Each structure stands twice: as structure tokens, then as C-alpha cells.
Amino acid sequence: GANGEPRKILKLDEDVVNRIAAGEVVQRPANAVKELMENSLDAGSTSITVTAKQGGLKLLQIQDNGHGIRREDLPIVCERFTTSKLREFGDLRTMSTFGFRGEALASITHTAKVTITSKTPSSQVAYKAKYSDGRLVAGGPGQSADPKPCAGVTGTTILAEDLFYNMDTRRRAFKSPGEQYKGILDVVTRYAVHFGDRGVSFTCKKHGQPSPDLHTPPRSSCLANIRVAFGPALSRELVELECSQAEELLDQGADGGEVAPSKFAFKAKGLVSGADYSAKRSDFILFINDRLVESPSIKKTVESAYKDVLPKNTHPFVYLGITMPSHHLDVNVHPTKREVHFLHQEELLECLRQAVEQKLAGANQSRTFYSQV
Ligand code: ADP
Ligand code: MG
């Protein structure tokens, strides 16, 4: 205050804390879609369908055919920091699931009306439950909040309605639902590309629209799914990119043995456009240890390898999947897990730059050769 006396320090109410945290995890509908799809993948799903109405702000639904959620877990599944995945902090180093914070579902219930319908393989019936602010709520007046048995197939459907109903500023900040839907389609597309060869089918559609905007078959490939999502003109221009360093150490890490932090080991595999393709918008799809991440430094380095072959202010298409020892990668940097930190950044950037430059040089040579024939 003006008289120089400090205000008393008070602990925030839990609901206030939870809503602030929720605003971090779910910044826009596409964030929620990413979290929910990762849960579906963690549950071993082979089919994931995303449906959105008004850019996901009115309605967002993710349906999967994974192992489901037990009836007895439904009462706590949406509380903050409840998870079936992480048990001890040390497990973070070897985490093979996407989730570990136990925050996604909680966050979504703090900013939307959520309904979960789920059936495990051993259960005779599915159960349906409604949530608000992390807790079970009754479906209507006079009803109990207990999960209700209903008909359904094995798997989980998560329905989130009226996203940001309790965050006026956030809701008003979203200009067009069309833009939000683009964001949703974009994340589903990225997962469809990366998991294209792992037997998972992805579908993304607008509510009430008969044909989906994206549908990839369960048995497919990264290249085939790029063709489905981006069209044949692009997919024809793609070349395979592969590079690695001390790749054998990666398998050692998978056995539980730890790769020393001083050792530089990685493997990168991807599909990148050649010298004949350039686009106004930058499509850069990056997964590290199967996590969709953003790395401004990797993007800058890879794109700079194209600077001599592409027209100014245009971009290549890049899809890269990088694998590194799990404890060389810190995934717990940000609640959205979008940003990661990793060891040996400079060496990795140098390898990638060289690999792309070689590819581009090689592609040029073969074209020159071809045109001489
Ligand atoms: P986290 O993924 O970090 O554990 P979440 O809030 O995303 O936290 O999910 C909490 C728990 O709910 C998960 O650990 C999992 O057991 C269960 N769960 C969520 N979504 C699904 C799903 N689609 N299929 C099966 N289980 C799920
Ligand atoms: Mg999760």
C-alpha cells in the first residue's frame, strides 16, 4: 500500500490454484486434444477419433479403443496429480508414457464440463461419469454423482463441453473458431504422421460433418499419411533423412542400463523436402523420443541448411523423429511438455545440419545426372 505496509500473505484456495494451473496446461483447444490423444496412445489405442464443434470451444470429443479406465478409478481420475503412470520422481528418467503429471484431465475439468465414458476389457458394461473442477458431479437435479453403467465398447470417450466457460478473457481472446479448429487438425495430423507406421488410425472431423478432414488407415506409413494430409504434390518431393551417432548405445539405454551423460548418442529419421520444393508456410514436425515438441534451435539449424537452395522467405517441409537416451532429455520443463531440454545440443545440431546438406547436395547431383541422360 501507499503507506509502505505490506499486505498479509495468505495461501490461495485450492480451487484458485487449480484454475491457474489449468490455464497453463490448456491454453487453447489444441492443447487439450494433444493431452487427450496422448492418454489414448498411453492406453494402447489403435483408433483415435477427434470431433470438434466451434473449434472445440463448444464441444471437443476424443474417442479411443484403448484399455479403458476402471470403474473404481473414475471418482479420482480427474483430480489433480492422480496418475496410473508415474510412481516415483526417479521414474521420470525412464518414462515411456506421455503422461506423468496427472494434470491433463484435472485441468480440463477446471475449465470445461467433462463427461467420461469408459469400458475396460474385463468389464461387462461401460460407465459414464460427469466432472467439474476435478470432482464427480451429478448429471442432473436429484441424481447421484456416481458413475452410471451404460452400454459401450472397450475404450474411452472423453467429452469436453463449453471450454473456458469460466475464463471470459481467454474465451473472448479466441478470434475465430476456424483458427482453433486448424490448430486441432494440425496436432492430429502431426501424430498421424509420426505414428503412421505404428498401427494407429487417426480421424479428425467437425461435429455434424459427414466426412472427416483427416482419416488415416491403421496399417500405413509416415509417407502415406503425409500424402493423405498434405497431398501428393508434397509427398513426391520428399526424401528420407537418416543420421545417427553411437546408435548402439540407445538400445543399451532401453534395457535399463543408463547411457553416461558424457556420451553423445542419438538417431534421427525423417522425411524432408528436396531442393525443388518450397512453401510460404513452415511445416516442421518434430518428435523427440516420440513426444511432439518444439525446438527453435533444431528448426533454425535444419532450415538454415536450405538457405542456398530455396528462394528467400520460403520454407522446406520437415518431419523428423529423434531418439536419444531418455535421461539425456528433460521433458518436465513446461506444463504443456512442449518445450524440452536435452544434452549435447550443439553436437546434435551439427549432425543434423550436415545430414540435410548432404541430402540436398545428393539430390542435386542425381537430378543433374538424370537431366543429362
Ligand atoms: P497422466 O496422463 O499424466 O497420468 P491425465 O490427467 O492425463 O494424467 O490422466 C490421468 C489418468 O487417467 C491416467 O494416468 C490414466 O490412468 C487415466 N486415463 C486418462 N485418459 C485415459 C484413456 N483415454 N484411456 C485409459 N486411461 C486413461
Ligand atoms: Mg495424460
Least confident of 12-21, 44-53, 111-120, 315-324: 12-21
Banded pLDDT at 256 (limits 50, 70, 90): low
In the chain, domain spans: 14-229, 237-368
Least confident of 170-184, 195-209, 248-262: 248-262
Percent of the chain with pLDDT over 70: 91
As a whole number, mean pLDDT of residues 21-47 equals: 91
Q: What sections of the chain are H helices per DSSP? A: 14-25, 29-42, 104-109, 168-173, 177-194, 222-230, 232-235, 248-254, 296-304, 345-372
* Residue-level pLDDT at 367: 45
Banded pLDDT at 339 (limits 50, 70, 90): confident
DSSP 130-142: EEETTEEE-SSTT
- The bound ligand whose nearest atom lies closest to the alpha carbon of 331 is 1
Question: Which residue from 45, 73, 77 has its CB within 8 A of the most atoms of ligand 1, so it is best to mutate?
Answer: 77
Class of 237-368 per CATH?
A: alpha beta
C-alpha 30 – ligand 2 centre gap (Å): 14
Banded pLDDT at 368 (limits 50, 70, 90): very low
If DSSP codes are grouped into helix, strand and coil, which group holds residue 22? helix
Contact 117, 156 (CB under 8 A): yes
Q: Measuring CA to CA, how many Å separate 267 from each of 85, 94, 264, 310?
A: 26, 17, 10, 26
pTM: 0.90
* Atom number, ligand 1, closest to the C-alpha of residue 103: 6
pLDDT in tens, 258-301: 888 889 999 999 999 999 999 999 999 999 999 999 999 999 99
As a whole number, mean pLDDT of residues 169-195 equals: 92
* Atom number, ligand 1, closest to the C-alpha of residue 155: 24
Q: Is the pLDDT of residue 142 over 50?
A: yes
As a whole number, mean pLDDT of residues 1-17 equals: 83
Q: Which fold has domain 14-229?
A: Heat Shock Protein 90 (3.30.565)
Q: Which of 56-70, 166-180, 331-345 has the highest mean pLDDT?
A: 56-70
* Residue-level pLDDT at 2: 63
C-alpha 75 – ligand 2 centre gap (Å): 17
Q: Pick the residue with more confidence: 116 or 25?
A: 116
Neighbouring C-beta atoms of residue 16, cutoff 10 Å = 10
pLDDT in tens, 353-366: 999 999 998 865 54
Interface confidence (ipTM) of the complex: 0.98
* Atom number, ligand 1, closest to the C-alpha of residue 66: 24
* Atom number, ligand 1, closest to the C-alpha of residue 86: 4
- The bound ligand whose nearest atom lies closest to the alpha carbon of 107 is 1
Using CB distances shorter than 6 Å, the residues near ligand 1 are 35, 39-40, 43, 64, 66-69, 77, 82-85, 99-106, 156
C-alpha 39 – ligand 1 centre gap (Å): 5
Enumerate the β-bridge partners of residue 61: 51, 159
